[in-house]
Structure 1
């Protein structure tokens, strides 16, 4: 990529932007790193406000951005640190609900209004009173933002319903290599990974995501009962950690289900490439990283038709209703018994992945929005 200067209203001075992350989940943190790298290459000055551990994990400074430590909490110290970091910014871009809310607090009361772009990468998940609080935060952020960017059409619609004056679709690229796995790749089945997981001589079904209620793993465990009659019995492997770990493990042991919980892993792409099928049983997903990685790895995907999933995968996955264990089980049984259909899905997946935006395209779209918001307004 050839560095180019961003057109701006600031003469020869580079556009000064601040990117704000909260704790930053893996997808949003990787996006901010990719965005920072692309903006810096185009002559934009970038400062990333995030906890120390986020910079350590994603190395924002390594791509040419500045880094300011801002803790996750919304206490006065964090807000004051963020306010100071944004003092000379031409534009501020916050990622995720909690980071966006802190940014709204930090920018409030300023004499000169700084454009605030907010990206909603996903919905915040909570139950009961906390869910009500999150809805109030969403409304406050949506109304205060100059522009809300949603990574899926469903999130754009949600932002508009919540009070955003300007909400737009801005699909986020999956950072990293975009080379699909070749059909004859000798590493495709990764025998070592399958042996480690205990899937020698049996189908391997892979799910990835936090062990939290919205992931739908209770439904997945229900579905595995139907697969026990298959010969050989498929093994379901779930990579992730969360509050439901103990409860899920107890069910697996008590019901003798063919499921393994392997915790948080750094080698998910390699494990996924070794799988026969990928499973995504969630109650809600935005622009699912697992779905994208599965299609790129030529792994047939069975997913719930929720949130941004249908828009993301098109006809390149088997989609089932959320909460329907029988539909999930039947879809898996059909695919395992139909090698030709699995191969068609692999080919469809590669074609679908080719329609997703690249990192360069994502950066270019965001930069065009920045330029729009920082150009001087004509006098009437």
Structure 2
């Protein structure tokens, strides 16, 4: 089978997921091509996974001039494919517009090279409003009405796509990669962060609007009993300057760690890991935390409740008091934290792995 993946600008979970699928299919003898911006090949190395890479300028924002060119580039890249699997709303809409029309008398069978099956995985929900939100609403309708199958990372995304006319909506299987062992002891990590004997509250997230970090800072402001926990945020993004200014102005017990390649070390040292997100699908960082056996506190949004199950504490989005109370519960009682850590480890062991994800994708590629 010939499978073409279309991916847009990504620096995280989407790129890793496509790399995993491409490698899994290549090992099974399928012919794989990945079409996307040059920087995603430089970061994720799809060629090393056994795929052919074709550079396509898929930007992260709609553009009236560049998008028609991108459609033509995608059309060339997917020529001859039996299945086109696009990841993300932008890539999905471009792939839908690029897919050739079925010629008269062509039933669209695999191998005809005329009408490939179009599968789109949606990894994120729309959280922006105004003009950008309106444009992305149009892209949603294109994907819903033109894709043969839509894979979603949360029930609310599935309901939305179904309401927009999607014919076949299925849950996506997006596992985290195997978690490597920590290379440093928790004591070494805590000393490096200047945590001392204070509880360490870790957040792994892009510094962006979706992640609800303003609520996290509200919760971190306290009040706390001594010693107050240290909140550490690992990640980069457009809100870094704004967050840093607020942390300094209010003297919050928060440190911005920037991009880190030692997340397993941070998880092993953390008392608890926290997400205050507006919305999440199947966040790989939460999956990694469960596998590490670190207690989880997260907002009950998107796909998080289904991912965490009863192995973590879920709080409403936008409620800093509830978030603070959940953190206080665990940092004040080591036994309670240990129980939630054990529950997280059990849940982490139950999560699907790479083989399940590849099998799920192949099932979505089958023509019924």
TM-score by length of 1: 0.88
Deviations 1:146-185 (A, max 9, x none): 00011232322222122211101122111234x7x7xxx9
> In the TM superposition, what is the alpha-carbon distance from 1:108 to its structure 2 partner?
4.7
Per the alignment, residue 31 of structure 1 pairs with 17
**Pair 1:342-2:334 in alignment:** no
Deviations 1:98-144 (A, max 9, x none): 11111112115453322100011121432222112111111111110
Q: Which of 44, 47, 59 is the matching residue for 1:58? A: 44
Contact 2:296–2:313 at 8 Å: present in 1 too? yes
Q: Which of 181, 184, 202 is the matching residue for 1:206? A: 202
Paired residue secondary structure (1:93): strand
**Pair 1:252-2:247 in alignment:** yes
Q: In structure 2, what is the Cα distance between the partners aligned to 1:262 and 1:132?
A: 34
Contact 2:75–2:100 at 8 Å: present in 1 too? no
Q: Which of 338, 351, 357 is the matching residue for 1:356? A: 351
Per the alignment, residue 216 of structure 2 pairs with 220
Per the alignment, residue 68 of structure 2 pairs with 76
> In the TM superposition, what is the alpha-carbon distance from 1:189 to its structure 2 partner?
4.8
Distance 1:352 1:188, change over 3 A: farther
Q: In structure 2, what is the Cα distance between the partners aligned to 1:221 and 1:361?
A: 37
> Greater shift after overlay, 164-173 or 260-269?
260-269
**Pair 1:93-2:85 in alignment:** yes
Per the alignment, residue 128 of structure 1 pairs with 130
Runs of 4+ in 1 over 3 A off after TM superposition: none
Contact 2:22–2:51 at 8 Å: present in 1 too? yes
**Pair 1:191-2:187 in alignment:** yes
**Pair 1:299-2:294 in alignment:** yes
Distance 1:189 1:346, change over 3 A: farther
Per the alignment, residue 156 of structure 1 pairs with 158
Contact 2:291–2:347 at 8 Å: present in 1 too? no
Q: How many residues align?
A: 352
Per the alignment, residue 102 of structure 1 pairs with 94
Per the alignment, residue 107 of structure 2 pairs with none
Q: In structure 1, what is the Cα distance between the partners aligned to 2:168 and 2:126?
A: 20
Contact 1:202–1:232 at 8 Å: present in 2 too? yes
Paired residue secondary structure (1:319): strand
Q: In structure 2, what is the Cα distance between the partners aligned to 1:110 and 1:261?
A: 52
Q: In structure 1, what is the Cα distance between the partners aligned to 2:282 and 2:256?
A: 24
Unaligned runs of 5+ in 2: 60-65, 104-113
Deviations 1:278-298 (A, max 9, x none): 010001111012211111111
**Pair 1:273-2:268 in alignment:** yes
Paired residue secondary structure (1:54): helix
> In the TM superposition, what is the alpha-carbon distance from 1:50 to its structure 2 partner?
1.5
Q: In structure 1, what is the Cα distance between the partners aligned to 2:126 and 2:255?
A: 27
Contact 2:293–2:348 at 8 Å: present in 1 too? no
> In the TM superposition, what is the alpha-carbon distance from 1:33 to its structure 2 partner?
0.7
Q: In structure 1, what is the Cα distance between the partners aligned to 2:159 and 2:349?
A: 25
> In the TM superposition, what is the alpha-carbon distance from 1:305 to its structure 2 partner?
0.8
Distance 1:316 1:145, change over 3 A: same
Per the alignment, residue 282 of structure 2 pairs with 287
Distance 1:330 1:188, change over 3 A: farther
> In the TM superposition, what is the alpha-carbon distance from 1:41 to its structure 2 partner?
1.2
TM-score by length of 2: 0.91
- CA root-mean-square deviation: 1.8
Q: In structure 1, what is the Cα distance between the partners aligned to 2:264 and 2:116?
A: 40
Q: In structure 2, what is the Cα distance between the partners aligned to 1:155 and 1:292?
A: 19
> In the TM superposition, what is the alpha-carbon distance from 1:268 to its structure 2 partner?
2.3
Q: 1:131-146 alignment to 2 at 5 Å?
A: 131-146=133-148
Q: 1:224-235 alignment to 2 at 5 Å?
A: 224-227=220-223, 229-235=224-230
**Pair 1:323-2:318 in alignment:** yes
Q: In structure 2, what is the Cα distance between the partners aligned to 1:282 and 1:350?
A: 22
Contact 1:120–1:149 at 8 Å: present in 2 too? yes
